[in-house]
Structure 1
Amino acid sequence: MKPKQHAAYATAFARGLTDPAIVAPADVIAQHGKGVINRYNVYRNNVTVSLIDALAAIYPAVQRITGVEFFRAMARFHVRATPPRSPLLFEYGRDFPSFIESYEYAREMPWLADTARIERAWLDAYHAADAAPLAAQAFAAIDAESLAQLRFIAHPATRIVRSPYPAVSIFAMNRRDEAIEPLHASDAQDALITRPDQDVIVSQLPAGGAAFLLALISGSPLGAAVETAFFEDESFDIQTNLQAMISAGVFTAIRSGAPS
């Protein structure tokens, strides 16, 4: 079989693996006279189950919240709508939080999608490149007049998830095998996901903290980031937030002046 023919065959074969409405390609054959349709259907089922299992491994808190049966039914619909684009299973499911948001039967759990976003960010942080976090001593040689112009380089593992719901608390309670505590659904929480050493850490940002860090990550100088944080919350504490971002390993380096 020529390369182009092989690619066309592989595409036709794969197209139906996540869609039960598609029949086995006409040129698929089975050895020793075994039934092509049945064997293809078995293979298709195995692929679907593997992808659902991958989603369950990536989103264990979501599965604990919904229950296994609900989760697997929801995941099956996602698999049919969103076939994998990478051979790496941990890369699968990036669209799952958005899918949850639009999933009819999850509407009574509006915070579920943001909980899933934190879980996805946790996994991405886990697989991110290694880098030494910024040390507190890096500020020692910088004179006070230059502070406002400092720009920060984010650690590859740093992620921020903003939510109008208590998604950080929901995530934390459901990643542990402990009793679930009552929460107020109106309590907004922003998550900071970092990996300063080998362990991924998920923490709740204080008021204004997410706006502050997102501004720094986008390239804004420190002075402008502080203004952004104060605009969002007048009680923003710059010293506390600077100390927290250093200890959490949010950044790897600082530089002065305009971005290159």
Structure 2
Amino acid sequence: MIRVSSSQAAANGRSLYERQKHFAAALLNPDMPMPDGLVGPDREPSVRRFNVYRNNVVTSLVDTLKATFPAVRRIVGDEFFAAMARLYVASEPPRTPVMLDYGATFADFVGTFEPARSVPYLADVARLERAWMDAYHAAESRPVDLARLGAIDSRRLSQIALTLHPSVRIVRSAFPVVAIWLMNVSENAPVAIDLFRGGEHAIVMRPVADVEVRRVTVGAATFIQGLADGATIAEATALALDDDSTFDLTNALANLFATDAIAGWSERDDCDSTTMARPA
């Protein structure tokens, strides 16, 4: 157990916040010395005791990243991943006490991590894995009945904004990210994948018990992301057609309802939104 000496704390004249900030920084940075004023049960400073505590904290955060990003770890190997994760831990301490939230920015870190530049798809794999984790822990929601939407006058459909299931996430990549991810989360030996065969985009969701990862077209990915951002069906369709002139709205809507990805909808009148239907 590590204690802060009250007399030392008073003597150095630092505020509690400053001492806590310095302590937190030292925990995650092995190059920093043990903060002043820390003593063990014998009331004596102990660098060894602090280093053990520091190592346990960093190791637990690295283990959290290992559990969240197994495909990334398999791609680069345990040693590389551990080194990369430790640098991330030092630069990105936890923002909340909920460890499920930790690693939300890991994919962005991987994308700027110079030693990983030789694996250009690695950040996108990390984004897919983070989306899987977020979908797994998302709130429950009952899907809406397609028949209720079918009862709406078709002339009003352009004003309808669909509410997606809370677990829905979209991941876009210039690389075949779904194929790479699938290969590295299975027990099978890796096989060669043509990285230049074209990008893949995925919808990740957990409508019932299991997380599902499905490939979608670029137009469908843009359409679904537009809905997630609050666009109406008409607005999201326009965005999708800008990205993909072959976008099929009927097929996209049918797939969303068939996979229970729609949790409700509302009707917008200019900037106003009035709730029309919610799952019972």
TM-score scaled by structure 1?
Answer: 0.92
The alpha-carbon deviation at position 256 of structure 1 amounts to: 2.3
- Alignment correspondent of 2:22: 12
- Alignment correspondent of 1:210: 221
Q: For the residues of structure 1 that align with 2:256 and 2:245, how far apart are their CA atoms?
A: 19
The alpha-carbon deviation at position 31 of structure 1 amounts to: 2.4
Q: For the residues of structure 1 that align with 2:36 and 2:267, how far apart are their CA atoms?
A: 64
Q: For the residues of structure 2 that align with 1:23 and 1:146, how far apart are their CA atoms?
A: 65
1:159 counterpart = 2:169: yes
- Alignment correspondent of 1:197: 208
- Alignment correspondent of 2:93: 83
The alpha-carbon deviation at position 35 of structure 1 amounts to: 5.8
1:152 maps to amino acid: L
1:66-94 CA-to-partner distances (Å, cap 9, x unmatched) read 11111111111111111112222221111
Q: Is the 8 A contact 2:38 2:45 kept in 1?
A: no
SS at match of 1:177: coil
1:224 counterpart = 2:211: no
Q: 1:57 aligns with which of 50, 62, 67?
A: 67
1:30 counterpart = 2:32: no
The answer to which of 119-128 and 248-257 deviates more is: 248-257
TM-score scaled by structure 2?
Answer: 0.86
1:104 counterpart = 2:106: no
The alpha-carbon deviation at position 183 of structure 1 amounts to: 2.1
1:186-206 CA-to-partner distances (Å, cap 9, x unmatched) read 311111111111211111112
1:84-125 CA-to-partner distances (Å, cap 9, x unmatched) read 122222211111111111111110111100110111111111
Gaps of 5+ in 2: 1-5, 274-280
Q: Is the 8 A contact 1:195 1:249 kept in 2?
A: no
The answer to which of 14-23 and 57-66 deviates more is: 14-23
Q: For the residues of structure 2 that align with 1:9 and 1:107, how far apart are their CA atoms?
A: 37
Q: For the residues of structure 2 that align with 1:176 and 1:193, how far apart are their CA atoms?
A: 18
SS at match of 1:151: strand
The alpha-carbon deviation at position 180 of structure 1 amounts to: 2.5
- RMSD across aligned C-alpha pairs, in angstroms? 2.0
Q: For the residues of structure 1 that align with 2:200 and 2:254, how far apart are their CA atoms?
A: 20
Structure scoring higher RCO (CA < 8 A, sep ≥ 6) equals: 1
Q: Is the 8 A contact 1:207 1:235 kept in 2?
A: no
Q: Is the 8 A contact 1:194 1:248 kept in 2?
A: no
2:248 maps to amino acid: D
The alpha-carbon deviation at position 6 of structure 1 amounts to: 5.6
Runs of 4+ in 1 over 3 A off after TM superposition: 4-12, 32-35
- The alpha-carbon distance between structure 1 residues 8 and 231, as it changes in their structure 2 partners (threshold 3 A), is closer
2:258 maps to amino acid: S
Q: For the residues of structure 2 that align with 1:14 and 1:227, how far apart are their CA atoms?
A: 48
Q: For the residues of structure 2 that align with 1:41 and 1:142, how far apart are their CA atoms?
A: 65
Q: 2:78 aligns with which of 68, 77, 80?
A: 68
1:188 maps to amino acid: G
Q: For the residues of structure 2 that align with 1:232 and 1:33, how far apart are their CA atoms?
A: 66
SS at match of 2:27: coil
> Could you tell me the percent identity over the aligned residues?
37
Q: For the residues of structure 1 that align with 2:49 and 2:56, how far apart are their CA atoms?
A: 11
- The alpha-carbon distance between structure 1 residues 135 and 169, as it changes in their structure 2 partners (threshold 3 A), is farther
- Alignment correspondent of 1:116: 126
Gaps of 5+ in 1: none
- Alignment correspondent of 1:234: 245
